[in-house]
Structure 1
């Protein structure tokens, strides 16, 4: 079954007043199979495999959320494992990021899903966004900021504009889905924690860097990074949990 058909089936299943658990298990298994690259880029396959799960949770009114939320929470941070993979169609991948992240925003703020499940997903999303920020600012797919600080690394070369983390950053700061509302797929406490992490880790690394070609330039001259920091502040202050 193609990814689009899988997503349509997920929505139809979610809108069923009493969707059987066996069908939801089948959906989950199908999405796990589709996570393996068959066509397109590695990151494209991974994002596409998550979209039916997100679509189901958006339309199900919380039905079977206990079954799907742990799997979604486990797989979201794993997207960062594909930061260094090649991207064959940048515009398509950026559009997939927008669809996935806007859907995850709806899920993490859903009133029908248990608070503990939403908190776990928000924590996973915080990890993913921290990894993305570190990859963009450090110019490396090794997103270990502590390791970079310990090594005194400076003058790194930014990742290409069509790399997976750069496209994720564009999705969060340039798309209509986010630029209008300015609310990220995070709970307020995690938005605040990520904002503090960005200051404590990335800004300190920038100040320790020697030369304008290093993380300082990337952090201060990349307007998308600055927009994201503003969105983090808005998310932390604007929404109630």
Structure 2
């Protein structure tokens, strides 16, 4: 039997409650785990920590940068917007280290929501810190909004998903100035960038939406896991 590729997924570090306990915990929505498993990979949780990313990346076949809190604006030389969330320095440092190491190794990378913003900032880009509420990217707490996106036909994203897709969104920030080498490949109706790629890597693709929240459409995770198995 062919061994399944090992896929690392970054996680939250947050206060959580279970049973009689309430304390800091490394956690991740099960949707991410299910999406990687369904696509044929073995998911491995990568909780925020202070070091060891280099040795870890040598054992992984791919990296998923999961959604989560806002990136500290200091990372892209900006002052915090009043609606920007509290910084999470340990997670930021851990994920920037993982991402840089993965790109150096040409390890397949799939970024989701925060993960797309992380990829952009890591390559020298910046972020729009708060989108107008009427834009519809985040309509209510814990509620995904399905939005149509238009996809560049000559892109890897387009090869996987076609010219258009209707995708589950939940974000109040977005890519601003593109990072060095990145190519925007999908846009929503208000021209917010919804997907980016790094063409000089074998698979470095990120989307602003949440493909893990749509189990009926597994194409993006399947394409990523196929690449990790090579």
Where is the strand percentage greater, Structure 1 or Structure 2? 2
Give the TM-score taking structure 2 as reference length. 0.32
The structure with the larger Rg is 1
